[in-house]
Structure formats: structure tokens, C-alpha cells
Amino acid sequence: MAFTGYLSKFSLAEIFEFLEQGYKTGLLSIRTLKDDRNQQADNHYIWLRQGRIVAAANRLDGRGLVSMIVRRGWTSENVATEKFQASHGRMAMGLCLKSQGLLTAEKLTLLFRAQIMGQVSPLFELENGKFDFDFQASIPTAEMTGLSISTAEATLKGLRSLRNWSALTAKLPDITSGISRKTGTVPHLQLDSQESKVWEYANSHTSLNEIAEQLSIPVEKTRQIAFRLIVSNLAEEAFILGTPKKPIIDQNQEFADLDSTNGFGELLSHGFASHLSTFNSNQPAYALNSQERETPLEQKKVEPIPSSAHQINVSQSFLQNLVGFLKTKVES
């Protein structure tokens, strides 16, 4: 069983959030997509257990972690391999070497930090990449230090060091939105100074634009911090309702074109109200007097005309609109 997708649709931060909330176990594989087909695509592998990251590498031969140990000069590859094989692979490589005195607790922590952040942090900048998560994949103990980190913490650390945000710009919350806390308690994750300040304004009614102004932080930086809090499952975007927009068409001006300047003259609602029944027939609703009055054009009024007078056909759609207008005038 597996699910796949593209980083252009789902960012790594969003994928991590999904995997942690679902306590997923398996292998997350990410393959970069190159524009130049002659270039070889890079592959990255992240293993999770119940939603927590336990190992990461750019290879599947089980030699990623031991090569890191050897490069640091902490032991030789032969010694590390021999000690690990003696445990029959039942123990994580890091814990196995620590139990043999080849690694200290401090070195193990540094090794895990370099393994996870060195492999994971650069992936947040990817704009083109395909991912899939295999729920059935086993976790290789040869790549494990024995330590783990939540995806939320890995996301926070990875995004803090992110220099190019172009892949995530479209996913940042709007400056007119605010953020609201998902919990009223102090965050379980360690926030930096700016994140803590923005967290204090996570009250669902202060916009990011206002937060940026209050804290003297650039608006774009504020949006990035808010995004980190959101994908770390500490907050959520809150849409703030602004002042209602003025209707495009004013009700009082709906039929403003029916005035003296277009030849219809001033409409008498009470006069037409008495003849509303005529609009239900197939006959023309009204007729215009063939003789011009002496009164100015601005004061002309449309009056019912005897049926013997010359009549003008009027479209049904116009009559229906006119009826609606007159009804509003009568009711008012």
C-alpha cells in the first residue's frame, strides 16, 4: 500500500503534518524532477515510525549511516560493520556502537542531527519532485541511530534554515488573515524568539499585516513564521471578515436608466400599479400618446392610452423588469 503525489501540489511540510497526525510508519521516498532530461534525478529516503522520523539517507544500500561515522573518524568501516553484524541487526546501528563504547551519547546526538537535518532540510526548497509513501516498507536498523524526532520539530528546524521560499510562496497565509492557536497551553515545541512573539498574537482577529507592524517584522517574514506554526500543528489560519463591500448595483438605482433623459419620462408608480393586470395578457402593456405635449421633456409622464391609439410592442423581459421595479415603488 502506498500513496504518491507531487511536491508542486503538496509541500514536504504538509506531507510531514499528515504523516505525524496519522502516526504513520513506513518509507517516504522523494525523487527530484530535473528540467534537463540528461541530468540524473536525486533520490531521498526518510523512514518514519508512528509519525516520527527515525532515519534518513540518499541511498538504499544500508551504508549511509556508517559512511557518516567513518568520515568523522570515529571508527573504521570494518569495525563498525563487524560490531553491527554481531548483533544480527536486532539493534539500531547507533545504539549498537554506543553499547560497544565506539560512540558517546554526545556523538550519537550529533550524528542523528547531521543525518536528519542534512538530508531533510534541503528538501523543503524543492519545487519539482515526486513523492510516495510505502506503508509496508521495513525500517533498516543499519541506518538508525536509535533516536527519533517528530516531523513537526523537523519541519520547524528545516524551515528556519530555508533561504529560498519560492516553492512555498503560494502556500503562505494571506496578510489579511490571522492565526489562531490550536491549543491554549504553551507549545510543546521549542520556538525561537520571533516565533514566540507571533504566537502571542495568535488570537484569530489580528491580521498578519498588523502583527508585522506591531512587532516591526517584515510582512513576508511574518507570513513565513505563521506558516511554520501552521504546518507544525500549533496554529491554523483564521480568515478575518472585513467591512462588507458595497453592492455593485444600488437597489435605488436599479432602474435609474428609466428617467427623463431617455424619453420614458418620470414613471408614476401609482398609475402603473392600477394596470398591473395588463402585463399578464399577450397585449402590449401600454402605449405612448402620438401627440407631444407642450410640457418640457423632463416633466413628461407616461399615461395609460385608450386601446384605439397606435400601440408599440414591448419585449416581455422589459415588462417583467418594469413590473418588479413598480412593485418596489408601491410597497415603499
SS (H, E, C) 147-192: CCEEHHHHHHHHHHCCCCCCCCHHHCCCCCCEEEECCCCCCCCCCC
pLDDT exceeds 70 at position 230: yes
Task: Give the pLDDT score at 262.
Answer: 42
Q: What is the mean pLDDT of residues 291-305?
A: 46
Give the residue with greater pLDDT, 135 vs 311: 135
Q: What is the mean pLDDT of residues 256-269?
A: 40
Question: How many Å apart are CA 286 and CA 265, to the nearest integer?
Answer: 14
Question: How many Å apart are CA 321 and CA 194, to the nearest integer?
Answer: 59
Task: Give the pLDDT score at 185.
Answer: 66
Kindly compute the dihedral angle of the four CA atoms of residues 293, 295, 301, 304, in this order, to the nearest 10 degrees: -30
Q: Is the dihedral of CA 206, 191, 160, 215 positive or negative?
A: positive
pLDDT exceeds 80 at position 9: yes
Give the residue with greater pLDDT, 287 vs 92: 92
User: Can you read off the three cell numbers belonging to residue 22?
Assistant: 496519522
- For the chain, percent of residues with pLDDT exceeding 90: 55
pLDDT exceeds 70 at position 196: yes
pLDDT exceeds 80 at position 61: yes
N- to C-terminal Cα separation, the chain: 67
What's the mean per-residue pLDDT of the chain? 79
**Which DSSP string do the residues of 12-69 spell out, in sequence order?**
HHHHHHHHHHTT--EEEEEEE--SSTTSPPPEEEEEEETTEEEEEES-SSS-HHHHHH
Task: Give the pLDDT score at 240.
Answer: 87
Q: What is the mean pLDDT of residues 301-314?
A: 46
Q: What is the mean pLDDT of residues 298-318?
A: 49
- For the chain, percent of residues with pLDDT exceeding 70: 69
pLDDT band at 318 (very low <50, low <70, confident <90, very high): low
pLDDT band at 189 (very low <50, low <70, confident <90, very high): confident
Inter-residue contact 154 to 194 (CB < 8 Å): no
Inter-residue contact 69 to 39 (CB < 8 Å): no
pLDDT exceeds 70 at position 261: no
Task: Give the pLDDT score at 305.
Answer: 44
Inter-residue contact 168 to 13 (CB < 8 Å): yes
Q: What percent of the residues of the chain are helix, what percent strand, and what percent coil, each to the nearest 5? A: 40, 15, 45
Q: What is the mean pLDDT of residues 319-328?
A: 66
User: Can you read off the three cell numbers belonging to residue 143?
Assistant: 541506518
- Give tens-digit pLDDT for 63-107: 999 999 999 999 999 999 999 999 888 899 999 999 999 999 999
pLDDT exceeds 70 at position 208: yes
pLDDT exceeds 90 at position 304: no
